[in-house]
Chains A and B, each alone.
Chain A
């Protein structure tokens, strides 16, 4: 079925619809990763976004049961060039098309995704719709329909739950967490207790955690100002690790500012320099907002890591407390594992904290 992807600026891309036939309105972003479409689609940080894959062959290895980052797709549409009809991987349980149908996820294939991504690079991430006709009224109505949500509050869990294990106890505030963070902690025997994003510091301290982890999540960090006092209070008491959205909230809580990037960082090939290390690391990134380095002046924060090309702040820490954060995903999935050591540093910080008797 012919369908159209129409951008806010009037650009039109004709393609073939697959998956859900529903009309969709969302923010269009692109990812340059050549593998990992399944992880990206189910990554809550993409909540409500229409995701363009720049690699043209998508669906090649199907959809499996192991690589979900949440139970259902987070993206609200996928835009691809060539969709695989059959898959060639033993773990595959269904094709991407079957998955999109099952999950009521609209997709469109046959798109000049390179032209599209270049447009987003030039004009910035943009609103777009997928519709069945180029009728003016259809297009106008579609753009008037509510923009798919992209909110950490909605992506967060509603109730407290535990991912039990035998080691250290970490309280995680969920802003739309990726399961890979839980996996990375489980690998280190960490007992994780996951809290809704609006949980108070007192409530969290009741479980007597060894550390606090601020998860990733979708949307604008400034919209979650309610979480900042909690963070501010807990960082005085516990070692903290912030990841992605968690990194931005950690910055905001300590007086820094964030800004919306033109088209963000979405892909796996951004090298990041950790000032402690001689070498650089490749990181998995998915963020449309970043911390404004100039706003760090006068705060207790200092930059620990930067993207080597555009200098984006990729890591922060508090000068006098064991609290730090990274903008990228040390949990990868998808993407390179180079920065997995960040979790070990977090574990070390918690162990050190116990030794000095802070706990």
Chain B
């Protein structure tokens, strides 16, 4: 069937803010889908609450609504826009859930709106456990046997029937308490008995355990004609038991023979045909390591994280084609966008190995539980392509940016072999490094396989790498150097083993013509001629990437998504590239993140899917000889390479390396500030504890303290006295002459930031973003509002003037972000980032200024004045927009969820409207906070916050809320004239305490702040944990609470007695 002509206008639902498990991949799939629909001539309306995305750019859809994804708001858009259809299958689970809710609400029927893609009933059949199990039984596909039982007799009967191992899951216990694995009847009886007892309804689910099975994924597509195909097969290196999002994954499948592979392919196709999937779908399966027995784990009836990975791994754009299928086209009617000569009904053949490694946030959340299991914890991932397994996995490791560029043993040397073995199971995020170290210590891979169930094939590949490492120690031959490069070794590691410098190895390689070639990703393993400018490096004979005659510019992306460096940077990268192209240059991208829009080969003229290390970047530069390199859009990843690239004669476009240093180096920056005579919190650097104490006393407590060698608020703390300072110096940082700590006076004021575009002469400030929370909360975790609502005109003027002075003094060419703290009517500069910042997408959208585009033009020597811009703050927009952070605490147990100087959010949402309170309301809703109209609020606050809290609590009371408080707070409130119910202590196991109140659903909101001097956070941590677990909104900054009150007051009618 050709494409449908009965529909004209299509509403696409995005996936909202980024959280663990639903991240940038949906920006990629959503953008692709919108463009794909536009390409077919449809009018596209988009709703997404996440401003940091490419997808919410006006070029992507005909109309973009950055509004909360709730039935109310989507319905409003439907009434206003009257679309003919909705495409919900590309916006993750958010999109699907919204489709269901909209359908249930009746609005789709009322306005005759059709749901495109896989039908709702099919989606429910795939997602509902019971219905899915029924379908699998009907079509004879095996699912792990399971039974819900209410008694020991039933449980034992079932166990005897199925055999072991079994997994026991008690119903309705928090976090799965009381469950576990049983390997024999005795164990089973014990766990089952305990589980039945702990379950409030005395019920457990007993299921066959397939832990340790080989985990296989297939990305499948199907159309109306029943054409069905496997786009990509994937094999997890980590067997069943670890969430696939937290597993190291290879593509294609490596250790299945054709007989097993085809058996599973048949199963996957049978399932999607029976589910009547129309579009993309993901099938997860498990197969025994010693028989042909396999099980279906689950099916995702939509485009998923895995399909983004599969698209990048194969070059086959799943989301783009899924959108075309949704409007009636079939796979044998659509051209394969890669080859442009064949049709889309084509199972890609790979001639390389892909490795994906997840990027976890445990470097930021050091207290978090880093064990891997069924709950995904990674915030992002990297992908690498190689022609040998070693090349693939080692490239992936050096893409991670975790301070390791190889299986180096720095952190493992001192760990005993027994401890390393004990660390293999249960797995942690760094297991692969432990494995390499164990192999280095000659522990048999058979033994490691026995413990981890990782296939011996993969372990032998790692062993091979370690063997080459050992050989390199004694053999300095060119031949071995070439072998090492073919197996993925980087120059740094070879240099270390040869006790030479990285430069020497590089020179030696070049002298001997050991340089990488670049191969094309073409979906057909070379069988068909292709035109895809998508390349990866390898050490082989033929180079396929040919430098063109057109002058080019290289843009470095930002690597894996992690806390502090998210999708916002991809936004800047993509816009930079598009502008470069418009200016007549060839735009080349390097990046290692498979989830993003920037690694879609259709975005740039050439895409190099490569790690972002000095060596890898220089290799591309050697080949492409670009006019220059843009680092400003790739976050700290790219900026960190500035100096090294500059030293090797690479032209850095935009702000020079010297000026970047003047902004980033504390001492040089102080000089700049002094020369300009700008206000700055008093501060100094210390190299030991004594000096630190001296400085702190001179400046006066409280002080903000942080190590000088990390950015993004890592290990940043506010300390109030000598004791705390000593504690920090001894526990939080390793201080030395090379690594001093920075100590600044901590000004308890409000915060604001600006992003400026400067060409060195003209400095344009699109707008000021005012933070809702006071200083002390990381800017990435603060709510922000544009234009400023409470900032005095004179302060705004000062921010404008100071930013201009700074931009000029730092000779900024391109973007720069400046952060201020405002106290007593004066703005103090606290930080400058000489690059695109996290707020660029938000500010671009709310001020309607093409910030990245202008910055790119400036970096390519265009003048802002020629483009019609003049120095100064641009006139404010009328519409008010609020940005709010979104957290993933429910996915990360044990992470302290109090807001502070370290960033903790994973994403952001935006709300905008004609008034501040309406914009605030929307931004709360969009970030997933249910704003309660009535109910009970628990206050448990630090001494210093009690006065403010009392004031807020009185307001809530006036609005009709009931107030509960913990003992000290309750007493203070009582003295202040507010009667509240007192709740007991968790630690004392009082019958009514905050945790019991939360679990019993008696609370609608929790306000909790902690005293900095208080070292016994026990109760507080439990309260906050319980709030997250029971999904009750938790506020740890009183400013956020005040803004919530603004919303509630605006909504409430006043009832006052005469």
Contacts and interface: CB of A to CB of B under 8 A. Distances in A.
Do A and B come together as binding partners? yes
Interface of A: 13, 30, 32-36, 38-39, 54-57, 60-61, 64, 66-67, 81-82, 84-91, 110, 112-115, 117-118, 121, 267-269, 271, 273, 278-280, 282, 308-309, 332-338
13 contacts: A13-B541, A34-B233, A36-B257, A54-B525, A56-B352, A61-B255, A87-B255, A89-B256, A117-B525, A117-B526, A278-B226, A279-B227, A309-B342
B350 A57 contact: no
B346 interface: yes
A29 B874 CA distance: 66
Q: Which of B262, B291, B342 has the most CB of A within 10 A?
A: B262
Contacts of A113: 351
Contact of A308 (B345, B348, B352): B345
Contacts of A118: 526, 542
A82 B345 CA distance: 29
A267 B290 contact: no
B256 A35 contact: yes
B460 interface: yes
Interface string B259-281: 11110011001000000000000
Nearest to B255: A88
Contacts of A280: 227, 331-332, 345
Contacts of B347: 268-269, 282, 336
Contacts of B103: none
Contact of A121 (B352, B460, B527): B527
Given A30-B526, A335-B262, 8 more contacts: A34-B253, A57-B254, A87-B255, A88-B255, A88-B456, A88-B460, A90-B289, A121-B527
Interface in B440-490: 445, 455-458, 460, 464, 486
A34 B252 contact: yes
B388 interface: yes
A115 B388 contact: no
A86 B458 CA distance: 9
Contact of B258 (A39, A90, A115): A39
Contacts of B351: 32, 54-56, 113-114, 117
A290 to B, nearest CB: 15
Contacts of A89: 255-257, 260, 457
Interface string B523-563: 01111110000000000111000000000000000000000
A35 B261 contact: yes
A56 B387 contact: yes
B341 interface: yes
A282 B229 contact: yes
A115 B540 contact: yes
B225 interface: yes
B46 interface: no
A66 B525 contact: no
B387 A81 contact: yes
A61 B458 contact: no
Contacts of B262: 35, 332, 334-337
Contact of A335 (B258, B456, B524): B258
B349 interface: yes
Interface in B307-362: 331-332, 341-343, 345-353
Best-surrounded residue of A36, A117, A118, A268 (most CB of chain B within 10 A): A118
B225 to A, nearest CB: 5
B519 interface: yes
B540 A87 contact: no
Given A57-B353, A82-B387, A88 B541 contact: no
- Secondary structure at the A interface, as helix, strand, loop or mixed, is loop
Contact of A112 (B229, B259, B542): B542
Contacts of B332: 271, 273, 280, 308
A90 B455 CA distance: 10
State the majority secondary structure of interface residues on B. loop
Nearest to A268: B347
Contacts of A33: 258, 349
A19 B521 CA distance: 31
B132 interface: no
B571 interface: no
Contacts of B529: 121
Contact of A55 (B349, B445, B528): B349
Contact of A81 (B229, B290, B388): B388
B227 A57 contact: no
A267 B254 CA distance: 17
A335 B349 CA distance: 12
B569 interface: no
A35 B225 contact: no
Given A35-B256, A114-B525, A271-B332, A88 B388 contact: no
A309 B342 CA distance: 5
A67 B605 CA distance: 45
A280 B332 CA distance: 8
Contact of B464 (A85, A278, A333): A85
B389 interface: yes
Given A57-B389, A86-B457, A337-B266, A114 B349 contact: no
A338 B265 CA distance: 10
Interface in B731-783: none
Contacts of A267: 349, 525, 527
A61 to B, nearest CB: 5
A121 B266 CA distance: 30
A66 to B, nearest CB: 7
A67 B542 CA distance: 34
Contacts of A30: 526-527
Contacts of B256: 35, 61, 89
B259 A67 contact: yes
A112 B341 CA distance: 25
Contact of B455 (A35, A88, A91): A88
Contact of B349 (A32, A61, A273, A338): A32
Nearest to A81: B387
Given A86-B460, A115-B541, A117-B525, A54 B254 contact: no
Nearest to A59: B457
Contacts of B343: 271, 308-309
Contacts of B341: 309
A279 B464 CA distance: 45
A54 B258 contact: no
A67 B290 contact: no
Nearest to A55: B351
Nearest to B343: A308
Contacts of B226: 278-279
Contacts of A278: 225-226
Contacts of A64: 257
Contacts of A332: 262
Contacts of A60: 254-255, 457
A332 B261 CA distance: 12
A269 B346 contact: yes
Contacts of A110: 486
B412 to A, nearest CB: 24
A30 to B, nearest CB: 8
Nearest to B336: A309
Contacts of A308: 332, 343, 345
Contacts of A115: 540-542
A54 B345 contact: no
A279 B225 contact: yes
